[in-house]
A and B are shown apart, each in its own frame.
Chain A
Amino acid sequence: MDISLTVNGHKVTAEVEGRKLLVSLLREQLKLTGTHQGCDTSQCGACMVHVDGLAVKSCAMLAVEADGAEITTIEGIAAPDGSLSPVQAAFQEYHGLQCGFCTPGMVMAATALLAENPKPTEAEVRDYLEGNICRCTGYHNIVKSIMAASGQSVAPVAAAE
């Protein structure tokens, strides 16, 4: 099946099998390996991208369903000159990552959250990250990074509930 879509602002056409997942199209055909795949069960969120502005797990969407869509991956988040987005810069500043495996998904989730809700509370940040699993950080520094990226104080970040 032939599909055409926009990926990080570039028009792309591709021939894909029906069963091809969006994550495989991105990683294997388009060589955009910043989008990670961390599970088989649609639970970890490492594969998160934006489809027409909405956060979606690219391992749980068929590539053909992205025909005509605008996709943004982690590679499309920094400015064209390479300068980091506010979310990326805050992850660097506040140690929002350790091994980095979950980070593309975390940045995509955080970017979608702030587009929808520019000044979230800490509880809203934690709630939004429900579908993004991190095995390293214990989440505190990720939450701090997102609070900082939204221009809010990071000091009082505490465990949920």
Chain B
Amino acid sequence: MYEFDVIRPATISEAVEALADEDAQALGGGQTLIPTLKARLASPSALVSLSKVAEMIGICYDDQGRLCIGAATTHAAVARDTSYPALSAMAAHIGDPAVRNRGTIGGSLANNDPAACYPAGVLASNATITTNKREIAADDFFQGLFETALEEGEIVTEVKFTIPQAANYQKFIQPASRFALVGVFVAKFADGVRVAVTGASEEGVHRWTAAEEALSSEFTPEAIADLTVLSDTLISDAHAIADYRSHLVKVMTGRAVKAAG
């Protein structure tokens, strides 16, 4: 690793101030960033650790009844919470126990790895991502591989969820990395169903709108039986060719619908 300073602010405003330096970078749980630094793929002058920012840690409800998860809340803490069972079950299967004890929801969303789990959960749930500056709808937040709507020095502070009537996440594990080879999060709301797919596309996490339409009129695995997922923008790599991923998207969606009930 190249040299860097570590700053450990106690409040969001102190963190934002420290991040005003363009070479400074936020540090969440470090489960992605530390391996990246070890590989010398980044060279920040300072890391601004969010682990002591108490106002960014924890789970509560806001006055509109939305579930609010602080951005520095670990995967393990979300896994233990009982408010939104489908999201907790998803968090409980990210990586391994030690990764879950450090990794955070904010870090996962900011990173937007094309095979990560949280982007699918947040996009399907139509969650709102709060930053130190503004609120961003999930539909506008994710912008392709490792790209998000976050600006320089902007941090995710909280994520707000309206809990759906039924939801489920199905992950087909890539056994070496333990990320999703394909993961599908299905969420059924009073006004329709949302389906978000991770791991599959060269464009990163995305919604499968044809399935959403079919499932909004009939919430059963059979409702998507006649749909096909076009494989032209899907990832083909050593782990799975695009056609296989296309097949998996449909299978995992069907399983998620069945499990959500």
A residues at B contact (CB < 8 Å): 1, 17-19, 21, 40-42, 45, 48, 51, 54-57, 59-62, 64-65, 67, 109, 112-113, 128, 130-132
B97 touches A55 (CB 8 A): yes
**Distance of A118 from chain B, by nearest CB (Å):** 16
A62 touches B98 (CB 8 A): no
3 smallest CB-CB distances across A and B, nearest first, come from: A131-B96, A130-B96, A18-B6
Given contacts A18-B5, A45-B98, A128-B97, contact A54 B35 (CB under 8 A): no
Interface residue total, chain B, C-beta cutoff 8 A? 28
B35 touches A42 (CB 8 A): yes
B31 contacts across to A, CB distance below 8 A: 42, 60
**Distance of B9 from chain A, by nearest CB (Å):** 13
**Distance of A74 from chain B, by nearest CB (Å):** 15
B3 touches A19 (CB 8 A): yes
**Distance of B115 from chain A, by nearest CB (Å):** 15
Q: B178 at the A/B interface (Cβ < 8 Å)? A: yes
Interface string of B73-108 (1 = CB under 8 A from A): 000100000000000000000011111011000000
A42 contacts across to B, CB distance below 8 A: 31, 34-35, 99
Closest to B46 in A: A18
**Distance of B175 from chain A, by nearest CB (Å):** 10
B30 contacts across to A, CB distance below 8 A: 60-62, 65
B5 contacts across to A, CB distance below 8 A: 18
Closest to A68 in B: B52
A131 touches B101 (CB 8 A): no
B112 contacts across to A, CB distance below 8 A: none
**Distance of B174 from chain A, by nearest CB (Å):** 12
Instruction: Tell me, in angstroms, the Cα distance from A67 to B4 when the chains sit together.
Output: 17
B residues at A contact (CB < 8 Å): 1-6, 8, 27, 30-31, 34-35, 37-39, 46-47, 49, 51, 76, 95-99, 101-102, 178
B37 contacts across to A, CB distance below 8 A: 19
Told that A40-B38, A109-B97 touch, could you supply 7 new A-B pairs with CB distance under 8 A?
A17-B3, A40-B35, A42-B34, A55-B98, A64-B6, A64-B8, A132-B96
Q: List 28 A-B contacts (CB under 8 A).
A: A17-B3, A18-B3, A18-B47, A19-B2, A21-B34, A40-B39, A41-B35, A42-B99, A55-B101, A56-B102, A57-B98, A59-B34, A60-B98, A61-B30, A61-B34, A62-B6, A62-B27, A62-B34, A64-B6, A64-B8, A64-B49, A109-B97, A128-B97, A130-B96, A130-B178, A131-B95, A131-B97, A132-B96
Given contacts A61-B30, A65-B49, A65-B51, contact A131 B6 (CB under 8 A): no
A56 touches B38 (CB 8 A): no
Most buried by A among B38, B49, B76: B38
**Distance of A42 from chain B, by nearest CB (Å):** 5
B96 contacts across to A, CB distance below 8 A: 45, 128, 130-132
Most buried by A among B8, B76, B95, B97: B97
Contact partner of B35 among A1, A18, A60, A130, CB < 8 A?
A: A60
Instruction: Tell me, in angstroms, the Cα distance from A132 to B178 when the chains sit together.
Output: 12
A62 contacts across to B, CB distance below 8 A: 6, 27, 30, 34, 47, 49
**Distance of B60 from chain A, by nearest CB (Å):** 22
Given contacts A41-B35, A60-B102, contact A112 B3 (CB under 8 A): no
Most buried by B among A56, A65, A112, A132: A65
Given contacts A40-B35, A42-B35, A62-B6, contact A57 B1 (CB under 8 A): no
**Distance of A78 from chain B, by nearest CB (Å):** 22
B99 contacts across to A, CB distance below 8 A: 42, 57, 60, 131
A56 touches B98 (CB 8 A): yes
A61 contacts across to B, CB distance below 8 A: 30, 34, 102
**Distance of B97 from chain A, by nearest CB (Å):** 5
A57 contacts across to B, CB distance below 8 A: 98-99, 102
